[in-house]
Structure formats: C-alpha cells, structure tokens
Amino acid sequence: MEALMTPSRSTAALGRGDAALHEFSVEASRRLRADGRCGFFALQDAFKHLVFGTDFLHSTALAELGRIAENTRHESARWEPDHILIAGDLAWQLRIGLYARASDFVYTLPFDLMVAVIDPRGLRVARPSLPEGMVNEVFDPAIRLPTLRYETVPGGEVFVVDGSRELLDIQVERPVLVVKLNTSVRDALQWAFDRQTGSAVQAIAADPLDSELVSTLRALASMQRGASVEPVRALTCHRRHFVRWAAIQCLARLAPELAVDALRAAAVDSHPHIAQAAAHTLSRLGQKAMAA
C-alpha cells in the first residue's frame, strides 16, 4: 500500500492528474498521522478538489486502460468487486467504483467515509443515527434499525459518514459512479439489520484479518499439533473478544488442562458474552466431574 501512496516518479514528471493524486496522498497521510479522525474529516475540501477540480479521474481511467491495452490478460491486486483501489496507506484508502446494487441488509460502517458522487443524476442515501443503546462489541438482537429517510445527494457533491455515529444505506436503481475515501477499520464488529423487520440479525468481524485469525485457530484445532499450544494460549488475551473465545476453543482441543485455566480467567472477561460462556462451560465441566 505504501507504493500506492507515493508514486515512483517525481511530482514534476507526473501528469496533472497524477500530480494531484500524489499531493492529496501526501496530505491525507500527514493529516491522519497528526490528527487521527479529526484529520480525516478535515480532508473534505481537499478530497472534493481532487475529484472535481483536477483531471484525476480521467488520467486514472486512461492509465488503467493503457495497462489492459498493453496486456489483455492484465490483472491487478487493486481490483475489487465494483471498485479499484487507487491509493492509500494503513490509515486510509481511496477507491473509484460503482454503487451497483442495494445490499440485502443495512450494515453499520466500521470506518469513517467520504463519497464523491460523479453521476449527475445523484445518489439516494439515508444516514440515520446509530440505534440508541447499541454497543458495537456486544451484539444484541433486541437493537432495532432506526427509520430510514432518504435524500438525493446531487452529482458534483461530497457527503461524509461518521461511522461511530451514523449508518449508511443506498437506494440504487442504476449503477452510480462514485469516488470513496475511507479510514482504516475501527470497530470490532459490523452489524447487519433486516431491511424489512428492522431487527439486528448478525454481527461479523469488521476487520478481515481478525476473521482470518479465527479461521486459522479452527484449522490449528483440527491439526492438534503440540507446537501450536503456546501461540494459541497467547491469543486467549487478544484484544478482540471473538478471537479470545476461538483461542480458548482451540486450546481445549490441544491442551484441555490449559483450557480450563483459560476458562477461569475468561469467567471475569470484560466482554459479557465471553464471561457468560466461560462460566457456563466451567459449570458443565464441574457437573461432569461430579458425575464421574
């Protein structure tokens, strides 16, 4: 990603669109390093100028088409479903793409977001406040989706979503071209709400790396290799509660006696679901021991 942020050519040698992207990238990284989320929101004017005040979009499209023309089998790790990753670093990412379809559910945003609407016909969006009483890390099916009220953001404008305070939902009748600027993932979970009933139906890991870590723990549990015990034991103290619990489950397969110690520690875990599950498991183990 660092290579995306800083082009290899000097700014003087870049085309106008490339130079504008380079300048914006340097400014975005500087602001987020210095001011965090406040720095991100302060980028709105610079972001709008990049998208609508320079030939950044045109030059980016030409460059991508040029790569394909040179090699019809060209593929890039920057290509994502309906989007192309243009620039970024660990704190922010810039993408060009389409809102091509409405999602089946209404999702929370685990990051902050700016969207520049390119389509002159605009984009229909709803940005309600997060439900009252919602705590991101503690999924609660009793939490209800707030009423969705839509407005049209006209083409040529930028709207901002504070993911710590707001939801975002899009109404799409046709694909809409946009440019998106987002921060890195902040939250542990991304919640999904049923569009019809308003019910909270599930929460998944917001960061793909956390999700991959859980999958790795499950794989290690199935392998049952003793060499895995200490790394897995260390993960019972991971910052994400679902990783901690997956590590305890894995440890139960690898070293049951150590898993009991981990369960005792988890019974006073800061996350209520982990503490309840650990206490329940210890109770069951105690009942089995008495029965034996």
Domain boundary among 183, 206, 229: 206
Domain that holds residue 233: 209-291
| 138-169 residue pLDDT tens | 999 999 999 999 999 999 999 999 999 999 99
| The two three-digit tokens of residue 26, written as one number | 């340097």
Report the domain count for the chain: 2
Distance CA 168, CA 109 (A): 7
Domain boundary among 179, 206, 233: 206
Residue 13 has pLDDT above 50, yes or no: no
Please say whether the beta carbons of 184 and 91 come within 8 A: yes
Q: Calculate mean pLDDT across residues 68-96.
A: 87
Are 132 and 215 in a shared domain?
A: no
Are 127 and 71 in a shared domain?
A: yes
For 144, phi then psi, to 5°, come to -115, 145
Are 67 and 142 in a shared domain?
A: yes
Are 172 and 280 in a shared domain?
A: no
Q: Calculate mean pLDDT across residues 259-282.
A: 97
| 163-194 residue pLDDT tens | 999 999 999 999 999 999 999 999 999 999 99
| 99-124 residue pLDDT tens | 998 888 999 999 999 999 999 999 99
Contacts of 225 (CB under 8 A, 6+ apart): 254
Are 40 and 171 in a shared domain?
A: yes
Domain boundary among 206, 232, 266: 206
